Structure 1
């Protein structure tokens, strides 16, 4: 479950939205449990549902709550590496939603081109081209003096 949450965060770039996406995914899995359990690869089926739940949330951005300047205080875990996560966050923010989804599914969840295409309901060629463009963008930004 935590892996789904971290993957959803990489897609959404917001922990609260990531929690919402995971919650929606878990609800959908519960509703379709027989179908999920009968799938050849239930984990892949669930990841596809997670990616589609995120895509649905992107289309419904008007329903989101407005952010507040007042944040609750809370301690970060000792192994929380702000520097690494911050630079990764900035790099991922430079990508469009589809490229970000492809990168997260391909390289964070280690899905194949075909599995990624199926999860996002796009062609394998689109996954390959979006991956190539995203990696080119990420490499150029990571190697630039500002990064």
Structure 2
């Protein structure tokens, strides 16, 4: 790869890393460590296709597609059910605005199957159309609509009335 192409990739990675990380956090149900790994894997794959021979018309959209596929692939190939602990003793607690709402929503998202979570994140966080979401997930628009409806119903069921209590200030 020539220096100009490498510089262009670095600029792309720097500009998209935060957005990819936020999406990855939502896709993983708040697992920031896994989200970081998925972003790195995504950028590594993007680096592999970067350059003049690349036929990627929209690198940002392609990166989003790669991220979703990496996440779904991780869930499929995962051989154990081990969960790393996110809690360390004597850790400083930093207040986060709307933290109770954020935790509630991430817990509800975490309870969804990976494909349902991917549909919800792509449709309502990334604001993709049904057709765009279907393209990213290699499925039909009808399957996206069905999965979206069912996933939203599961979220409403999991959240119940607690979401209203968290949003009222």
TM-score normalised to structure 2 length: 0.74
Change (3 A) 1:70 1:141: closer
Structure 1 residues 17-66: Cα deviation after superposition (integer angstroms, max 9, x where no partner): 00000000000000011389643322111100110111111112227875
Among 99, 111, 124, the residue aligned to 1:107:
124
Q: 1:35 to 1:79 in 2, by over 3 A?
A: farther
User: Aligned residue for 1:11?
Assistant: 27
Poorly superposed stretches of 4+, deviation over 6 Å: none
Q: Does 1:2 align with 2:18?
A: yes
Which is worse superposed, 116-125 or 99-108? Answer: 116-125
Q: 2:3 aligns to what?
A: none
Match of 1:89 in 2: 106
Task: Check conservation: 2:134, 2:140, Cα contact below 8 A.
Answer: yes
Q: Check 1:83–1:114 CA distance in 2 against 1; reply closer, same or farther (3 A cut).
A: same
CA distance in 1, matches of 2:138, 2:126: 17
Give the 3 Å change call, closer, same or farther, for CA 33–79 of structure 1 in structure 2.
same
Distance 1:80 1:145 in 2: 18
TM-score (norm: length of structure 1):
0.84
